[in-house]
């Protein structure tokens, strides 16, 4: 992800239905940083209850599109 907060993430291997945490090897803090960046860039507040909707790239896109 160019300009990403996750510079070591291997986004080339990320398919739309791949688990983000597993594929990108995100620990809890990395995932929180991802959520923060996603929230900032989209202008949408993301609550902890929303995290299950951010499991895959496809589910995250659907979550943001449905907002």
Whole-number pLDDT of residue 1: 42
The angle subtended at Cα 46 by Cα 55 and Cα 67, nearest 5°, is 85
Tokens linked to 40 = 């900032």
pLDDT tens string 5-27: 555 666 777 899 999 999 988 99
Extents of the domains making up the chain: 16-65
Q: In this predicted structure, what is the pLDDT of residue 9?
A: 65
Question: Which residue blocks in 3-56 are alpha helix, DSSP H?
Answer: 20-23, 28-42
* pLDDT, tens only, 35-61: 999 999 999 999 999 999 999 999 999
Among the ranges given (12-16, 24-28, 30-34, 61-65), the one the predictor scored with the smallest mean pLDDT: 12-16
CA 4 to chain centre: 11
Q: Which two tokens stand for residue 45?
A: 């507040």
CA 57 to chain centre: 7
């Amino acid at each position: 992800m160019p300009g990403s907060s996750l510079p070591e993430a291997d986004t080339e291997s990320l398919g739309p239905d791949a688990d983000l945490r597993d594929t990108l090897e995100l620990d809890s803090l990395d995932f929180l940083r991802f959520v923060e960046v996603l929230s900032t860039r989209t202008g949408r507040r993301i609550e902890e209850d929303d995290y299950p909707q951010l499991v895959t790239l496809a589910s995250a896109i659907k979550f943001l599109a449905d907002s």
